[in-house]
Amino acid sequence: MPLKAKILNPAISGQAATMATGPQAPKEEPRNDPDDVLFNPIYGVRTIELNRPQKLNSLNGSMARKIMSRLQEWEKSQLASVIIIGGAGPRAFCAGGDVAALAELNASGPEGQAASQAYFALEYQLDHLIATYPKPYIAYMDGVTMGGGVGLSVHAPIRIATERTLFAMPETSIGFFPDVGGSFFLPRLEGSIGTYLALTSERLKGVNAFYAGVATHYVHSSSLSSLTARLAEIEFKDYEDMYSRLATIAATIAEFETGLPHDEPMLLAGELRKAIDRCFGYGAIEAIIDALEDEEKDTKLPEHIRDWANSTLETLSERSPTSLKVTLKQMELGRRWTIGEAFKNEYHIAGRFMSHPDFGSGVSARLIHKPPTKPTWNPPSLQGVTREDVNKFFNHEGEFPMKLRNEQERDYREYPFRMGLVREDEIRGVVQQGGQKAQKVIAKFFDEGGRRSGTREKVEEVLARKCDQDEEGCLIWKR
């Protein structure tokens, strides 16, 4: 089996013709901009273009309704084979949702908060539809990809980063939490990377979104239009399953890969990756902060790691204490949730935040006020956020008012298709077979399945960080 796209749940791939019915496609409202999303057919390809470049293609209810309706329509169409989503203009794929509008709604009281939560239901239903879509769905993460834009892209089996990609989950900085399926996606990144990104809002630029596993491929932005045209030429056989179709698409994308930029080293690697795993593997924010303080004081560590610890402590001190504690618990529980459970739980958590003062304060200070100011968090410190306060965001006694389409038929605990760079657990499995030397391990992953772009860099980094060598030069995996 080629390693380019490893299927983990075969039940997902063969169900396009036997899908259960779910919520009806939402109807568009007359007052909405008819051109905020553009749809185009190109032979078997169907393209979705987010068309609000002046707003960095930020997602609103009008756009979400249109996209959901088209996806449901294309799911039933034998003429639609591949879905591609991208953003208009060179600056952004999608910079997030219109949280300023939500904050204004919340300020009007319970009725406004209910309207805000209705938006989250729509957004999460759309993201869940994407996460369980039975046809190849490709996201061009070209430009700013944050918040709501992450929900539209990160659950796709194929996610393409470019030199213009700027990925982040900045929710803790505005008194919110990493939603849009972040409960599922982030804990499944390697090591403690997901927790680190969730708590700090660290930005990943360009190829580093690919190295970190956020994207599955890296292509220069100038090649995207040609790639779309080439994908439109593909004709699948009726009997081909999802795995076969994704493998064909991956091979097609490889035709447009021109190598990775040599002037952008892997960011979350080496000593920094070790420090992230040391510090962000704890189950309490206070323990994470203690670990960072230890790193900052440890003169045996490289200076750049001590500097990183200092800046990370400063970053966390600026975040909403409530958001930090809720997000860390979200990461812990999300490792065990199914994709459906993740969105249902996030719906409840989002509703709690709509009535929490930190969301309004954070959005007003960070996004509405010009220039941005410092939010007033309530409680203002970690000590003021009790365990009972945190548990309220998760204690809903099994009552989920939000319905998800095809939840039972397409639910899963791991993404059904594993694409992109070789993962650390795969490398560990080979090394632990014994008698393996570095070049042999590199060659194995470089040669199998066509996973060439970035493979050498990833395997070399993992081996250097996780392995020792015996007297004969064979690798020994560190415990």
User: Which of the following is catalytic: 86, 148, 151, 334?
Assistant: 148
User: Which of the following is catalytic: 49, 179, 202, 346?
Assistant: 179
Residue 125 sits at φ, ψ, to 5 deg, of -65, -40
Active site residue 179: yes
Q: Tell me, what DSSP letter sits at residue 369? A: S
Among 123, 130, 198, 178, which Cα is nearest to 158's?
A: 130
Question: What burial letters (b/e) apply to 267-289, b meaning 16+ CB within 10 Å?
Answer: bbbeebbebbbbbbebeebeebb
Question: Treating both helix axes as pointing N-terminal to C-terminal, what angle do 242-254 and 224-232 enclose, rounded to 10 degrees?
Answer: 140
Question: How far, in Å, CA of 56 to CA of 147, rounded?
Answer: 12
User: Which of the following is catalytic: 123, 127, 171, 358?
Assistant: 171
Question: How far, in Å, CA of 230 to CA of 335, rounded?
Answer: 37
Question: How far, in Å, CA of 294 to CA of 272, rounded?
Answer: 15
User: Percentage helix, strand, coil, to 5, in the chain?
Assistant: 50, 10, 40
Interacting residues of 34 by C-beta distance below 8 A, sequence separation 6+:
none
Active site residue 87: no
Residues in the chain: 479
Active site residue 470: no
In contact, 73 and 127? CB cutoff 8 Å: no
DSSP calls for 47-80: EEEE--GGGTT-B-HHHHHHHHHHHHHHHH-SS-
Write the single-letter amino acid at 428.
R
Catalytic residues: 97, 148, 171, 179
